[in-house]
Structure 1
Amino acid sequence: MKPVNRRDLVVLAIGLTVAAWLLVRAFYGSLPPFDWWLPVPLAVLAIAEALGARTLKARLSAEREARKSQGRGTTAARTTGPVRPVEPMMVARLAVLAQASAYVGAVFVGVWAGVLVYAAPHIGRLGTATGDTVAAVFGVVSAAGLVLAALWLESVCRVPPGSDDPDRSGSARA
């Protein structure tokens, strides 16, 4: 698998910002107000992926250290306790999830940024613009957090360049 191209994410977000701004500009009066809790699922997914990346990174590091210590014949693996092995298919699935989440996050960054670009200048003139601006700011922050967490998770799923284990070299590549 190829890593996510950051330029593609930026182009997607900018393109959808313009498209969302045009649509919101045309239909703002007939749209329901945007509530602050609408981007909460994005924030929850971003937190879950960040925690998953942190956990996976720790488990992979522990597994690599245990392999190194076994190769040297030291007793370090016995003193630190048993290492729970990481399933290669789980890493591959997490890499796919990370890539999909990065694109979804970029889409929502663009959509919420389009709402924000339209609603923010109208705060004093339109009654719902204040609430819509708050929701849009929270949406942009949540979606950007999802993109960052997904890119971090994807980077954790990569096989290090000097991997000596041929059985694992292709299975966890992101």
Structure 2
Amino acid sequence: MKPVPRRDLAVLALGLGLAAWLLVRAYYGHLPPLDWWLPAPLGVLAVVEAFGARTLARRLAQLRAARAGKAAPATKGSAAPVRPLEPMLVARTAVLAQASAYVGAVLLGVWAGVLVHVAPAVGRLQAAGDDTVTAVIGVVCAAALVGAALWLESVCRIPPEEHEAMASPSSG
């Protein structure tokens, strides 16, 4: 599985930002008001993925230390053995991270397109003030989702030194 190309995420966000800006510009008067809680699920997913990345990174570090024969860091006096991780769990988590990165980039573009239209209209339109707050929350939550997803994806990668160590015995 290949990592998510950052360029693809940027192109996706920019393209959908432009498309959203054009659509919002054409139909803003017909749109329902944008409530502040609409982008909240993105923020919740970003927090969950960041927590998952931190937890998975810690568990993988403990497993690597145990395999290398190094002492695992002391965890408040407990000398419990390190529980192994299911390889399929890590693979599914990597797929979730990649999908979340794309979803975050799409919604980052959409919320940025809305923000580019409504922010300059704050002084002219009464609804633009609330919609600007919602769009800012949307941009922040979507960017956080992209960041957390990319972090989670990087945690799921096999470190290069382990990969090279597995490949070197067959070549010698």
Confirm or deny a common fold (TM above 0.5). Answer: yes
User: Which amino acid counterpart does residue 120 of structure 1 have in structure 2?
Assistant: A
Distance 1:117 1:134 in 2: 12
Deviations 1:12-63 (A, max 9, x none): 0000010000000000000001111000000000000000000000000000
User: Which amino acid counterpart does residue 117 of structure 2 have in structure 1?
Assistant: Y
TM-score between both structures, scaled by the size of structure 2:
0.90
Distance 2:142 2:79 in 1: 38
Distance 2:79 2:7 in 1: 42
Structure 1 residue runs of 5 or longer lacking an equivalent are 71-75, 167-174
User: Which amino acid counterpart does residue 146 of structure 1 have in structure 2?
Assistant: L
Distance 2:85 2:51 in 1: 16
CA drift of 1:163 comes to 1.2
Is structure 2 residue 58 aligned with structure 1 residue 58? yes
Distance 1:6 1:26 in 2: 30
- Who is 2:169 aligned against? none
CA drift of 1:124 comes to 0.8
CA drift of 1:84 comes to 1.2
Instruction: Please state whether the residue corresponding to 2:143 is helix, strand or coil.
Output: helix
- Who is 2:133 aligned against? 134
Distance 2:81 2:123 in 1: 61
Distance 2:5 2:92 in 1: 19
Distance 2:90 2:49 in 1: 13
- Who is 1:21 aligned against? 21
RMSD: 1.6
- Who is 2:69 aligned against? 69
Identical-pair percentage: 69
Q: Which runs of 4+ in 1 moved over 4 A?
A: none
Deviations 1:67-115 (A, max 9, x none): 1117xxxxx3697421011110000000000000000000000000000
Is structure 2 residue 126 aligned with structure 1 residue 157? no
Distance 2:126 2:110 in 1: 21
Instruction: Please state whether the residue corresponding to 2:44 is helix, strand or coil.
Output: helix
CA drift of 1:129 comes to 0.1
Distance 2:33 2:133 in 1: 11
Matched positions, count: 161
Distance 1:23 1:80 in 2: 59
TM-score between both structures, scaled by the size of structure 1:
0.89
